[in-house]
Amino acid sequence: MITVLTGGTGGAKFVDGLQQIVPPEDLTIIVNTGDDMLWWGLRVSPDIDSIVYMLAGKISQERGWGVESETFFALKTMAQMGEPAWFSVGDRDLAMHIFRSKLLSDGSTLSEATAEIAKRLGIKSRVLPMTDSRVETRVLTAAGELSFEEYFVQRRFQDEVRAIRFAGASHAAPTPGVLDAIRSSEFILLAPSNPVTSIGPILAVPGIREALHEADGVIAAVSPIVGSAAITGPAGALLASQGFAVSITGVADFYRDFLDVLVVDSQDEDAACALRKHKDSSTTPRIHVTSTIMRNNGDRVALARSVIEACHQSGRTLRAAQQA
């Protein structure tokens, strides 16, 4: 069994690589819901949608989010009626939000609704929202406190970030199956998602970080930082806002209390050597260097294979150490 903790876009690509080399029934995907919001009164779960569309083979490969060959007629109509239109909901995507909203208003939990959606789309991997409660990633900026999608999509992450909080997290509980999946998986993989606002909300749900501490499996993360910047998106600025270096060292520090393996890009070979040399070995993960940038499907599959191989090696090392 393999469990993945993930956000949307970059994480979805990583999951796509995994699903091509691992039997889908062996994959449990725990997904960030901190970006969820009500849009036109409908419940939108951007990261769950990206994962579900990817697993169902429906994601737009050009955009990296939403449905392939999408149209936006409802969105244009809403704009004409004077409603907000900055969040690009396509017509096919809208069906998903309507269906989820109906399931929720009929009494389903988000995890039940997600399981139903996955079933309808023929998805065999298990997709688990991190929590059925409302946990909202709130981004404090000079312009005020924003929802994550306001910060990320509406304002294109141009605001300087003063603080991040996960509203509701302290009262949230992991969805059924999340803690067991983490505790019982052979490998627990953190996708190359934004550590602060994609993986961070998952870690903020009480019980999940503890489960990572208790996990017997190998825990590996793929760094979304290459060199001194994120591959895409605001991960760099957000790490800096939390006092972490914008480098693989910052990522290692962010996950240091539970991480066994950090997978970094070949461009960071030197940084990897420095990290291996200078850090306290008890809190420094094993560094695995490979090509992490996923430009095409071959890259995705190769990265997934490389990460799994690094986990196998690390597992053998751990077992050898335990037996010694």
| Chain positions contacting a second copy, by CB under 8 A | 40-42, 67, 71, 73-78, 81-83, 90-92, 94-96, 98-99, 101-102, 105-106, 117, 120-121
CA distance 286 to 233: 26
Confirm if 36 and 45 have CB atoms less than 8 A apart.
yes
Nearer to a second copy, 76 or 171 (CB): 76
CB of 167 to a second copy, least distance (A): 21
Round to whole Å and give the CA distance between 80 and 76: 6
| Least distance in angstroms from the C-beta of 121 to a second copy | 7
Q: Determine the Cα–Cα distance for residues 166 and 201; give it in Å rounded to an integer.
A: 6
Nearer to a second copy, 107 or 243 (CB): 107
Tokens encoding 264? 């970094």
Q: CB of 30: closest distance to a second copy in angstroms?
A: 23
- Please state, in angstroms and rounded to a whole number, the distance separating the CA atoms of residues 38 and 47: 14
Q: Strand pairing partners for 144?
A: 141
- Asked whether the beta carbons of 193 and 7 are under 8 A apart, the reply is yes
CB of 33 to a second copy, least distance (A): 20
**Given the complex with a second copy, which of 82 and 144 has the nearer CB atom?**
82
Separation CA 7–CA 262 (nearest Å): 17
Return d(Cα 201, Cα 268) in angstroms, integer.
Answer: 27
* Rounded Cα–Cα distance for residues 197 and 206 (Å): 16
Query: How many alpha carbons fall within 13 Å on the CB side of residue 75?
Result: 15
At closest approach, how far in Å is the CB of 210 from a second copy?
37
Q: What 3-state class would DSSP assign to 6?
A: strand
Least distance from C-beta 103 to a second copy, angstroms?
Answer: 9
Query: Minimum distance from CB of 176 to a second copy (Å)?
Result: 23
For residue 37, the cross-strand partners are: 44
Min. distance of Cβ 31 from a second copy in angstroms? 19
Nearer of residues 78 and 173 to a second copy, judged by Cβ: 78
Q: Which one-letter amino acid corresponds to residue 178?
A: V
Closer to a second copy by CB, 41 or 243: give it.
41
Kindly tell me which of 108 and 313 has the beta carbon lying closer to a second copy: 108
Residue nearer to a second copy on the CB measure, 73 or 86 = 73
- Let me know: does 172 contact 135? Beta carbons within 8 Å: yes
Q: Which is nearer to a second copy, 81 or 321 (CB)?
A: 81
Distance between CA 278 and CA 239 in Å, rounded? 21
